[in-house]
Every structure is written in structure tokens, then in C-alpha cells.
Structure 1
Amino acid sequence: MKPEVTTNQSCLQCHPGLKTPTALTAHTHHPAESAGSTCYNCHMPHTTYGLLRAIRSHQISNPSVRESTELGRPNACNLCHLDQPLAWTADRLSAWYGQKSPPLSADDHALSAGVQWLLKGDAEQRLLVAWSMGWAPAQKAAGHDWLYPFLAFELNDPYAAVRFASWKSLQSLPGFSGYDFDYTVADGKQKEAVALTYRKWWFEQRNPNGGYRPETLLEADGSFRQDLLDRMLQERNHRKVYLAE
């Protein structure tokens, strides 16, 4: 690969059959000019942690629901389509590329994979999703109206790096540009910040007409589906994670 080539042109040196927009769209099932047709978004997704953010994997791979269920690695599809369940992704990978779906739980059929990783996952999974919630292609694909309460909630995460990523993503949302938060403060101050942030969203940015979707763990009015939220947190993976910078 030529080092100065940072677009699809780098990949097309070895895959010339995908050069035309028609061929590219037939392969990706996304519009040719969209983020879903950018090779490295699908084949080198943001599944690695470094410098207080998600960074791209340096391993070229294919999106895989099986990797997500068996290894815990968030897949490229659900890191962009944050609002969709794993079953939604499995159906499309099966129809488009013949991938066999792994066994999936009831939650994997009904609830957003991104929300599950954010609430039940280990610290690295939580950071990857929190960062992705501030990624413009993901906000475009999944919408941003429903992200606020989850990013507010994660301002009280046990890991400072997750709190930082959540805060930075929150700042990317309308009404929260330049929002002040100290991710290094003690637990009591974090809880206070969560309450203030949630209140700001509820009264200033929440859609008063509702329409929030149950698969995102929200009631129609935007409040949490509390029984599911409580269960997800009870199932959270609390293993200690040490990631060197």
C-alpha cells in the first residue's frame, strides 16, 4: 500500500473490481459516498483503546457477530448502527454475505448491542461504545436524540477513561458543546454531575413528543426502562481492566 493513500484507493490497489460506485454499493449495501462504503470503517473498525479514545484496529477483518458473542469484540456494524440489536446485524450479514448467525439471546434479538455493551460490558467495551456515540457516522446512522441519557449515566463510570470518553462524546451533541465536567473528581461529585447533566437533557434537549424506541432501553418519553437498566447493571462485567497507553 502507498502510505499517502488514505481513502478507499489504498484498498482498491488490490481490489480493482470495486472501483465503480455500482460495484462498491453492490458489495457494501450502502450508498457509495457514505461512511458505510468506506473500507476501513467495516474492515478496520474502532475496536482498540489508546490515548483516552477508541482507535482503529490494525488488523484487517470482516464484520462478525460471532466474534462479538464469543470473544466480546464489538463488531463494526453495531459500532455504527448503535441502536440496532445483534440479531439485526446477523440477519444482514447472512443475507448479504452468507455468514451463519451464531446462537443469540433474547436480549440480542430485542435490545441494542451498543447499549448492552455500554451497560453490561467491561471497561474497554464501555469506552469503545461511549466514544462511538460521539462519532459522526454513528450519530448519522443511529440518530443522536437517544444518546444523551446514556452518556450522562456514564459520567459516573468507575473508570476515568470511560468518563472522559463519555464527556467528550456528550460535547458533540446539540446543546452540550463546551459542556463542563471534571472526569477526575470523586464519586459524589460524579453522581451530582450525572444528575445535573440528565436534568439539562430532559428539560432542554429531550424531544417532548417522545418517540424513543424500546430497543434502546428507553420508554417512549425518553425515560429509562428501569427494570432492564437495573438488570443490565447487575450483569455488568466488573473484571479489572489495565490498558497501557
Structure 2
Amino acid sequence: MTLITSLSEARDFLAKIYKDDRLRIVALTGAGISTESGIPDFRSPGGIWSRRQPVQYQDFISSEDARLEDWDRRFEMMDFFEKSEPNAAHEALTLLAQEDRLTCLITQNVDGLHQAADFPQDRLIEIHGNSTFATCLECGRRAGLDAQRAEVEAARSPRCDACGGLLKAAVISFGQQMPEAKLERAVQAARECDLFLVLGSSLVVHPAAQLPAVAVRSGAGLVILNGQETPLDSLATTVIRTPLAQTFANFGEENEQNL
């Protein structure tokens, strides 16, 4: 395993990946790619989850108080999301997808920044859902978050206009069943890639944390870009410890200038 801590070496390494257009690349992103866009790591000390315990899915279903607490938390997170913009790392992944190099992007994030960076929706798997909009738990209809503020401020759980079912942010809550179809698609993508990139994930949250190992067992190279050690560093061919947004600054520009 090669450890890179120099920004210039990290950029040179990524430039070599960019120039090798034979690689079929799959990427997994975690909170570390978004913290550099101004979104705090909600799991870290001082984050929302350290101040307010996550609402379990069954509690959301059964308790009005739990639902209102969850909605209040979503509005707090939404305020961060609305002030944030994609950084160079988000944009680099979009470039790779547009050039048909990145076949699949699996994200643990729920902030919508990959969509804001114009990443192709058909190659994006939001394995933990999306916290920038709501869906009805009965009919699946989509609804805006901000439109529910008045109901929550009146101490009422938002309901679906179509069927009257409970509305909930479209994120996978603790205790809620993971989307099996998305998981199967992510595993298949990991099995078929030549190179698996991890950007800003601690690789401790499962089942997403298992995907790099699936790729390695299938013969892919593994590159981990994360500020801290992860449990899978020993499986990686290269580990990069430099800030993501700075590392991906000007990514691909040399090739564009040569066109």
C-alpha cells in the first residue's frame, strides 16, 4: 500500500488515473467530500447527532413527538444544505461520468450536492436516501420540505396531499429497511469495475463499507482518499490523506487544454 500525504503527489496520481481511459471506475462518497462544501459531519463531536439523538424509524411511525423532532432536525440540516455548493471533488466525479469513465457513483450522503454538480442521475445510487425532499410513506409521492414548515410549527405531522399518508424526509432512518434494489445494484457495480475510489468515507457504516472489499475480491484496484485511517486501508493499493477539494482542483484541465 502506498501512502500519499503531499498535495502535489496526490494531484499527479489522480492525473494518471484520468489519463488512463481504459479504466471502468466506481466511486463511493461519504461525509468527507461535503464537509469541504461547508456541511458539517453530523456524526462528529458537536454535530447534530451528538446533541440530538437520531429518531428511530419505528418511533417516527408511532409517535407524533418523534415525528416533530425528526422534522425539526431536517429543517436544521436543510439550512446547511441550502448554503452549500459542490466543490472540485464533486465536479471531478461529474466530469468522469460525463466522459463515460465513472460507471457508477454510490453515495452515503443525503445532501443533494452530487445532483447540484449535475451528476447523471442514472449513474447515482443514494444508498442512504436524500434529505432534501420528502416522500409519502403510503403512496410514495414526492413533496418539498419547506412547504411543510407551517404544519410542523403548528405541532402537526405533515401529511400527503394525495392520500393523507405520513410525509417523511426521503432518507433511510435508523431501523428502516435499506433499499434492496439499490444495494444489489451497488454490489454489482463494485464487482464489475477496474478501479474503486473511496472519497471522504470512514468505511465504518455498513453495508456501504463492504463495497470496496467486494471490488477488491473481484480484482479491482482500491484507492482511498480520506483524512483519517479506515478499516480497509490495508486492502488499498493507494491511500491519499490530502483535502479532497484541493486535491481535485484543476482535475482534467490539462487534457482539456490539449484538445
Question: Do both share a fold (TM > 0.5)?
Answer: no
TM-score normalised to structure 1 length: 0.30
* TM-score (normalizing by structure 2): 0.28
Q: Which structure: larger Rg?
A: 2
Q: Would you tell me which structure has more strand in proportion to its own residues?
A: 2
